[in-house]
Amino acid sequence: MISAQDIQKKVTRAFLVGIHHPKMAMKESADLLDELRDMVENLDIPVVGQTLVNLRSPNPSLFVGRGKAESILEQARELEADMIVFDEDLSPVQQRNWESESKLCVIDRQEVILDIFASRARTREAILQVALARMEYSLPRLTRAWTHLSRQRGGGTGMRGQGETQLESDRRMVNNRIAHLRQELRGVAKHRKTQRKKRVRIPVPAGSIVGYTNAGKSSLLNKLTGATVQAEDKLFATLDPTTRQLDLAGSQSVLLTDTVGFIRRLPHRLVEAFKATLEEVVVADFLIQVMDVTSPDMDKHAATTKRVLTEIEADGKRTITVLNKIDLCDSEDLDRIRSHHPDALCVSAVTGEGLEELSIRIADLLNENATIMELLIPHDRYDIISRLHEVGGITKQDTRDEGVFIKGNFPNSIVGLLETFRTKDELRIGS
């Protein structure tokens, strides 16, 4: 298989092939092809041309019919392209056939996404996850690297040529590598679980910021919390989950996690490979779904986000919908979008507009699972007072002769621990 690094070194001009199926609207097919163009250009590979092919059913040999394949090759050669990119998943056989006939690098949408993820991975976890996904994708395609040895294979029973021996060796090596990566990822997941348990001991509520790639999730986290998470106008600019604390009114606080952006036709192996990353979404107390009001496909992107959340069984969580980038949207379009999303908050992660209202909405959501309590904590139990400050939600605190009086909204998960210190008419009940 031609690696992402080889593609970036060897190919300089890409020709794109989009597919229009009978059950798809032509605009949707064209939009997906434009999205593929953005992804390829994000790999710093210029796109010299593209074509949209009408297809009733896939051809098992070349995906498209022979006549259409010849037309595609003719266009690619005229434009001096050295790579053809399909906006569909090609089977290993189809990929080999195309490369054999065209003498060009031929890849599919899935490989483009894998290459983008590989170029964005920074932390050990992300690197391992991408490596695993790439190895699983490469395994059935290893023969692409050894087609020049096929003539050396023996024809009799029990006879094996050098090419077959090398292929078997490569398969064994890749399988061993996959097993090793899975083992390493289990260790990473175990470490993350330990970190999460430490957080649970101090029951600070947690939320995850989700949405389509490039919707402004990282910018929103930065503006809300003062973080410095990488925020660029790039697909998948953020691969690794980043958690920061947001301080709310009344000494209340919440942990917010920025997650990898979703995309239409996300390869299933990436959903599986990024399970540890997406666990942050699964265990979150609530979600903030960010939608880009400047995108003409905003609602389709929202549907994609919902599909991925359903895949990881996180679609039932309480969700705050945020319409981002309102500073780039004219008032007429914004009014129309608001009418379709009456419960959503309109914000700008650049100007800060609407973020105060978002913080209030988060606090209100957290207080739905909280109990208002009045407590009188003895002076020798400052460990309890310290913990309440970590949890947040304190609205009043007075130092008195008999102890420290505290009033606030506290998570139901710790209410049982506080019953001993509960007051009635500001008199302590219990020991």
State which of 98, 120, 142 marks the end of a domain.
Answer: 120
Q: Is residue 271 part of a domain?
A: yes
Stated as kind and residue range, the H or E segment containing 377 is: strand 370-377
Stated as kind and residue range, the H or E segment containing 51 is: strand 47-54
Task: Please check whether residue 270 is in contact with residue 197, taking contact to mean a CB–CB distance below 8 angstroms.
Answer: no
pLDDT for 253 equals 81
Q: Using pLDDT thresholds of 50, 70 and 90, give the confidence band for residue 198.
A: low
Task: Please check whether residue 68 is in contact with residue 1, taking contact to mean a CB–CB distance below 8 angstroms.
Answer: no
Residue 45 scores a pLDDT above 70: yes
Residue 151 scores a pLDDT above 50: no
The pair of three-digit structure tokens given for residue 155, joined into one six-digit string: 């024809």
Q: Using pLDDT thresholds of 50, 70 and 90, give the confidence band for residue 310.
A: confident
Residue 152 scores a pLDDT above 60: no
Residue 161 scores a pLDDT above 70: no
> What CATH number is associated with residue 404?
3.30.70
Q: What is the mean pLDDT of residues 227-255?
A: 71
Q: What is the mean pLDDT of residues 241-246?
A: 82
User: What are 413-419's contacts with CB under 8 Å, separation 24+?
Assistant: 413/203, 414/203, 414/387, 415/371, 415/373, 418/373, 418/375, 418/384
The pair of three-digit structure tokens given for residue 316, joined into one six-digit string: 């039932």
Residue 5 scores a pLDDT above 60: no
Q: Is 34 exposed, middle or buried (0-12, 13-18, 19+ CB in 10 A)?
A: middle
Q: Is residue 83 part of a domain?
A: yes
332 and 222 fall within a common domain: yes
105 and 211 fall within a common domain: no
State which of 342, 366, 390 marks the end of a domain.
Answer: 366
* Angle of CA points 55, 59, 63, to nearest 5°: 75
> What CATH number is associated with residue 253?
3.40.50.300
209 and 320 fall within a common domain: yes
255 and 288 fall within a common domain: yes
Residue 148 scores a pLDDT above 70: no
Q: Rounded distance, CA 415 to CA 426, Å?
A: 18
Kindly report which listed range (70-79, 98-107, 392-401, 419-428) carries the lowest average pLDDT score. Answer: 419-428
Per-chain mean pLDDT for the chain? 82
291 and 143 fall within a common domain: no
Residue 328 scores a pLDDT above 60: yes
Task: Measure Cα distances from 364 to 111, 249, 307, 414 in Å.
Answer: 43, 11, 27, 18
Q: Using pLDDT thresholds of 50, 70 and 90, give the confidence band for residue 21.
A: very high
pLDDT for 240 equals 63
61 and 39 fall within a common domain: yes
pLDDT for 81 equals 95
254 and 299 fall within a common domain: yes
pLDDT for 277 equals 60
Task: Measure Cα distances from 82 to 106, 107, 178, 189, 192 in Å.
Answer: 9, 11, 31, 40, 43
Q: Is residue 246 part of a domain?
A: yes
Q: Is residue 155 part of a domain?
A: no
Q: What is the mean pLDDT of residues 292-301?
A: 91
If you average pLDDT over each of 204-218, 302-316, 352-366, 399-413, which comes out highest?
352-366
336 and 213 fall within a common domain: yes
> What CATH number is associated with residue 84?
3.40.50.11060
Domain residues for the domain of 186 are: 121-150+160-203
Q: What is the mean pLDDT of residues 278-302?
A: 88
Q: Rounded distance, CA 285 to CA 279, Å?
A: 12
319 and 410 fall within a common domain: no
Read off the pLDDT of residues 350-399 as tens digits, 9 standing for 90 and up.
999 999 999 999 988 887 877 888 899 998 888 888 878 777 678 888 99
100 and 223 fall within a common domain: no
DSSP string covering 163-184, please? HHHHHHHHHHHHHHHHHHHHHH
Name the residue with higher pLDDT: 389 or 9: 389
The pair of three-digit structure tokens given for residue 335, joined into one six-digit string: 């009014």
Which of 172, 146, 98 is closest to 1 using CA atoms?
146
* Angle of CA points 227, 220, 191, to nearest 5°: 55
pLDDT for 192 equals 73
Which of 183, 190, 173 is closest to 128 using CA atoms?
183
State which of 366, 383, 413 marks the end of a domain.
Answer: 366
Residue 10 scores a pLDDT above 70: no
232 and 331 fall within a common domain: yes
Structurally, the chain folds into a number of domains equal to 4
Read off the pLDDT of residues 28-42 as tens digits, 9 standing for 90 and up.
899 899 989 989 998
Q: Using pLDDT thresholds of 50, 70 and 90, give the confidence band for residue 79.
A: very high
pLDDT for 78 equals 96
Q: Is residue 172 part of a domain?
A: yes
Q: Using pLDDT thresholds of 50, 70 and 90, give the confidence band for residue 231.
A: low
Q: Rounded distance, CA 290 to CA 105, Å?
A: 36
Name the residue with higher pLDDT: 279 or 281: 281
User: What are 347-355's contacts with CB under 8 Å, separation 24+?
Assistant: 347/220, 347/322, 347/323, 348/324, 349/216, 349/219, 349/220, 349/222, 349/223, 349/324, 349/325, 350/219, 350/223, 350/325, 351/327, 352/223, 353/326, 353/327, 354/326, 355/223, 355/224
Task: Please check whether residue 290 is in contact with residue 220, taking contact to mean a CB–CB distance below 8 angstroms.
Answer: yes
Q: What is the mean pLDDT of residues 216-224?
A: 90
239 and 360 fall within a common domain: yes
Q: Is residue 262 part of a domain?
A: yes
The pair of three-digit structure tokens given for residue 384, joined into one six-digit string: 């309890």
Name the residue with higher pLDDT: 373 or 430: 373
Q: Is 13 exposed, middle or buried (0-12, 13-18, 19+ CB in 10 A)?
A: middle
Q: What is the mean pLDDT of residues 389-415?
A: 82
Q: Is residue 174 part of a domain?
A: yes
Residue 254 scores a pLDDT above 60: yes
Q: Percent of the chain beyond pLDDT 90?
A: 37
pLDDT for 154 equals 37
pLDDT for 7 equals 45
pLDDT for 243 equals 83
Q: Is residue 139 part of a domain?
A: yes
Q: Using pLDDT thresholds of 50, 70 and 90, give the confidence band for residue 427.
A: very low
Residue 95 scores a pLDDT above 90: yes
